[in-house]
Amino acid sequence: MREALADPVFTGPAPTLADLRLAASNAPTLARAFLDLHTAYRQTHERLASLDEALGREDARLQPSPWEEVRDFFHYCDNYLDAVDRAAEHLSGNGSETGRDTVLRHFAARDIRVSFADTNDTRQYDPQTRTITLSTRASAPTQTFQLWMQLALITQDQLLEATLDLARFQSPEARAIAKVGLANYFAGAALLPYRRFLAATQETRHDLERLADRFGASIEQVAHRLSTLQRPGAKGVPFFFVRVDPAGTITKRHSATTLQFARYGGACPLWNVHRAFETPGRWLRQLAE
């Protein structure tokens, strides 16, 4: 009760510890009701604080936020972009060299130098000096991913812009966010080329550690790529991918299935999974599809 009464919503003088002990001893039910009420208030306040400011507009129901637009775009594409995926697979080569060696070869052919520095920025590109600077603090898989992402921004701009034109986003902000997402998608598809990666998943029975070791990728990169294997005629298992921080907040989510994530806030991941399995018959039909 003392902690609850320290909330700024209570502007008056705080009750003394003796008064709180008296209330807890003589009216425990009332004290519990007070704590439950304050917990409900705090949870509601946190939910409201996490809502996008677009919800405060009169047309909030009609016009989604930029992040929602981008999220819906990837969802309606089944988290698979065929043109971008195939372009990345083409640049990835035939597998005779590692993904890192391949991307470095592409930069060397374009007279772009790659350097390393102890910096907070994971990746920097200077078009004047044609130099990419990677942070030495990043892991090797992250560095390779960032190189492929930069290659996409330099060499695949027309493809990315054409894909954005087809999406018809309602705001420049959504288009800018989606372009970063497309470059990230290209990087993942180049680091883990579709056909070779699909064959490897079947061979290893989706062993994430073995796949990461084989392609020089991280566990997260492999898990994310698994959620994109939806090429027509060569589909993989329809995984959904969720990254959760130590506090239980969802920080990244992608789905190649009909699983719908909560639209606002860092919803509980167990609740999302519960929704997917709440009707076994419906879930089995979705899996069969």
Q: Over the stretch 225-245, which tens digit does the pLDDT of each residue have? A: 999 999 999 999 988 888 887
Check residue 112 and give its pLDDT: 96
When computed from its CA atoms, the radius of gyration of the chain, rounded to whole angstroms, is 24
> Which helix H or strand E contains 242, and what residues bound it?
strand 240-244
Nearest Cα neighbor of 227 from 255, 205, 204, 203 is 255
pTM here is 0.70
At 95, the pLDDT band (50, 70, 90 cuts) reads confident
**Separation CA 87–CA 72 (nearest Å):** 23
Express each pLDDT in 144-189 by its tens digit.
Answer: 999 999 999 999 999 999 999 998 898 899 999 999 999 999 999 9
Report d(CA 153, CA 174) in Å as an integer. 17
Band (pLDDT 50/70/90 cuts) for residue 191 is very high
Please give the Cα distance from 111 to 96 (Å, whole number).
22
Segment 72-92 shows an average pLDDT of: 91
Assigned token pair, 180: 């970063």
Residue 287 has pLDDT above 50, yes or no: no
Helix segments in the chain, DSSP class H: 2-5, 17-26, 28-50, 66-76, 82-91, 99-109, 140-155, 157-167, 172-191, 194-204, 208-215, 219-226, 269-277, 280-288
